[in-house]
Structure 1
């Protein structure tokens, strides 16, 4: 599966680009058959004005809870990577959001996804919307979620 790297809000006011490595991580975790469990991790990248460049998606750790229809990210491992990247780049590469898979072709957020995104967005120290990505079998769902729990859905560009 080949996902597109560039995304934008409907008004093109915010642009987002996924690095090739990030897209490769997404592709490697697609739930292609009935035995595959959900996967997920953090999205790390740089902010350029209102625009985002996602450089890395962390991969599931041994501590994460993975089931067919549920992924629960545990802080161990993911946060260490995020802190290491933040420190090494003097704060340029930072936590921008979360990603996880769904076992459906064209994914949509569940009620649990929405409540979790709202909680995570409220916790953001920089008060920016949190990037939320769901990786489906044929498409991505990409949204910038505000602390109210709703945000801007992005569409592929190109």
Structure 2
């Protein structure tokens, strides 16, 4: 099942089925499962306000994974670099995703602070970044606006 969210301004944020399935595989639907996460990769569609998320990185060796905490290793950047080169510069970093062990996910203060730091990073391509938090029953998506550092929830879906 692909997802389509209405962006904060114009356009849509489309999540391809394969990327969605990879994120959902790490849903913390039992007490033994640790937080998982990674980076969002996709394309800003030329001459359109639409954005397509078509790949994600997933937990890797070197990541810190606990029940209520996930910290990515540098290995994820290599995934972004490889995708960019393989696509001729059309597949780019779009943001981040991670899981939470709660039915309806809400970003923590630490999440929001991290999002703001990424939005302020001048090396990031595009006007927006996207953030997905996968709960045990609901997935929620936010769009971060780089010009003012704000984040807006753009949708949610029951799992």
Task: Normalising by structure 2, report the TM-score.
Answer: 0.88
* Correspondence 1:150 to 2:150: yes
Alpha carbons of structure 1 residues 66 and 117: separation in structure 2 relative to 1, 3 Å: same
**Cα distance in 1 for residues equivalent to 2:44 and 2:113:** 25
The 1-side partners of 2:11 and 2:100 are apart by 25
Partner of 1:95 in structure 2?
A: 93
SS of equivalent residue, structure 1 residue 56: strand
Identify the residue that residue 114 of structure 1 maps to in structure 2: 112
Q: Aligned equivalents of 2:30 and 2:149: distance in 1? A: 31
Contact 1:43/1:54, CA 8 A, preserved across alignment? yes
Question: How many matched pairs?
Answer: 153
Partners of 1:93 and 1:126 lie apart in 2 by 11
Instruction: Extract unaligned runs of 5+ from structure 2.
Output: none
* Residues 20-99 of structure 1 aligned to structure 2 (within 5 Å): 20-48=17-45, 49-76=48-75, 78-99=76-97
- Alpha carbons 1:37, 1:67 under 8 Å: kept: yes
Q: Does 1:15 align with 2:12?
A: yes
Q: Secondary structure of the residue that 1:112 maps to in structure 2?
A: helix
More relative contact order in 1 or in 2 (CA 8 Å, sep 6+)?
1
3-state SS, counterpart of residue 106 of structure 2:
coil
Which residue number in structure 2 is paired with residue 139 of structure 1?
138
Q: 2:124 and 2:104 mapped to 1: Cα distance?
A: 32
Q: Deviations over 1:55-113 (max 9, x none)?
A: 1011100110000001011112x111111110111111111000000001110111000
Q: Which deviates more from structure 2 when the two are superposed, residues 81-90 or residues 143-152?
A: 143-152
Using a 3 Å threshold, how does the CA distance of structure 1 residues 57 and 122 change in structure 2: closer, same or farther?
Answer: same
| Structure 1 gaps, min length 5 | none
- Structure 1's consecutive aligned runs of 4 or more residues displaced over 6 angstroms after TM superposition are none
